[in-house]
Amino acid sequence: MPNLIHLSDLHFGPCFVPHLGQVILKEIANLNPDAVIISGDFTYRGRFAEYAAAREFVGQIVRPLLVIPGNHDQPLYSVFERLTTPYARYCQYICDTVDASLAIDGLFALGLNDCHPILPGGFWSRQQRAWIEEQLFRAPRDAVRLVATHHQFIWGGKWRPAGFWYPTRALDWLAARGVDLVLNGHTHIPTASQLGSGLVVVRAGTATSDRVRHGCGNSYNFIAVDSNQISVFVRQYDAQADAYLAAKAYTFPRRKNPN
C-alpha cells in the first residue's frame, strides 16, 4: 500500500526559503515515497520568475507527482489575465491541466482546482463534480481513493483565511462515493481528523515559506496507508538538526469501501 509525501504552500517568491527547498528535496529522496502530492500555492504572487523557480524545484522530484494550483497561483497584478486566463502561467510552468489524476499501484488520486479569480475560498463546478464521479467509477476497488484540493474543509470555527464553501456537504458527497482521504493546504496549519463517515481529512502546513502561523513552523505530511489504517506524520523543520523531524502523529482506522 502507498506511502505519500504531501506538500503545500511552497510560495516561491519573496517568502520562499531556498535552504528549506533543498532540505525538502533531500527528504523526498531519502523517504522515497510512492507519490508526492502538492496541494497548491506554488508561488506568492503568480509572477513569471516565481513560476520559473517553482518549475525548477518540481523538476527535481523524480517520484510520481500530483499537483493542483492554489489561490496565490493566479497573477495578482495582471487584473485582465486574472479575470480571463488565471491559470495560463500555472499551465505553462507547472502542469498543463488544473485538474489532474494519478493512478499507481494501491492509489487512485484526483486533484481539483477549487479557486475563484475574485471570491475567496473553494468551489467545485458541476463539471468538476461530474468528472470526479466519472474518474472514481474506474478506480480499482482496493485502491486508496484520494482527493486533493487547496482550501481547507475543516474550518475550526475561524472564518479567516476563508476555506471551502459548504464543506460538510462536499465531504459527505465525497464519502458517499468511497473516497478515503482528502488533502488540502491553504491555512499553513497542519492537522488531521477523521469524520463520522470514516473519511480522513488532512491539511498540510507551509513547507518552505516564512509565512508560518500560530507557532506551527515549516512542515509537510508523510502519509502511510495499509489495508487497516491511515497514518499521518507531521514532519516539522528543526534548525538544529537541519532536517524535518516527526512532530505529530495521527492514526485512523481505514473504513471498508462499500463500493
- 56-64 contacts: CB < 8 A, separation 24 or more? 57/10, 57/12, 57/21, 57/25, 58/94, 60/25, 61/25, 61/28, 61/36, 63/5, 63/28, 63/32, 63/33, 63/34, 63/35, 63/36, 64/34, 64/35, 64/36, 64/102, 64/104
Q: Are 9 and 185 in contact (CB under 8 A)?
A: yes
For residue range 123-142, list pLDDT tens digits in order.
999 999 999 999 999 999 88
Categorize the per-residue pLDDT at 119 as very low, low, confident or very high, splitting at 50, 70 and 90: confident
Query: 35-49, 133-147, 159-173: which has the minimum mean pLDDT?
Result: 159-173
**Kind and range of the H or E run holding 252:** strand 243-253
Buried b (16+ CB within 10 A) or exposed e, 96-124: eebbbebeeebbbbbbbbbbeeeeebbbb
- Three-state secondary-structure class, residue 52: helix
Identify the CA nearest to 170 among candidates 111, 122, 103: 122
What homologous superfamily is domain 3-253 in, according to CATH? Answer: Metallo-dependent phosphatases (3.60.21.10)
Residue 82 to residue 127: CA distance in whole angstroms: 21
Categorize the per-residue pLDDT at 1 as very low, low, confident or very high, splitting at 50, 70 and 90: confident
All cell numbers assigned to 8: 503545500
What is the widest separation between alpha-carbon atoms in the chain? 49
Mean pLDDT of the chain, nearest integer? 93
Quickly tell me which residue has 493512478 as its cell.
103
Q: Stretch 155-174: mean pLDDT, rounded?
A: 79
For residue range 192-208, list pLDDT tens digits in order.
999 999 999 999 999 99
Residue 253 to residue 100: CA distance in whole angstroms: 27
Residue 23: strand pairing partners: none
The domains of the chain are located at 3-253
Query: 13-22, 66-75, 116-125, 247-256: which has the minimum mean pLDDT?
Result: 116-125
Predicted confidence at residue 258, as pLDDT, reads 54
